[in-house]
Amino acid sequence: MESPLFDDREKSVIKWAELVTWNTARYDDKAYEELSKHFDTAEIVELTMVACFRGLMNRFMDSLQIELEGEEVQAKGGRASAKPEDLQAYVQRMGIIS
């Protein structure tokens, strides 16, 4: 990832979440090494668990055809949206970025 919008710490989380989502994290030692520059083992376990849980919930909801957004959002086009600054504040509160 070459985006100037994220620092190395953030990029390592994004890369790890992508690898976990595609179930290929076990094969990418370089990604784990990069992640471990910024997070301790417990934090890596937590990041991995969050990525796994989100993937599980997405598959669960999709399989059962359950909409994630309520009727009001669906009436406006069916998709929720968030402003970049809201997402930034959220990940800061979660301690993913500083």
CA-wise closest residue to 44 among 34, 53, 55, 36: 36
80: confidence class by pLDDT, cuts 50, 70, 90: low
Q: Tell me the domain boundaries of the chain.
A: 1-67
pLDDT in tens, 6-39: 999 999 999 999 999 999 999 999 999 999 999 9
Residue 47, pLDDT score: 94
Q: What does the radius of gyration of the chain's CA atoms come to, in whole angstroms?
A: 16
73: confidence class by pLDDT, cuts 50, 70, 90: low
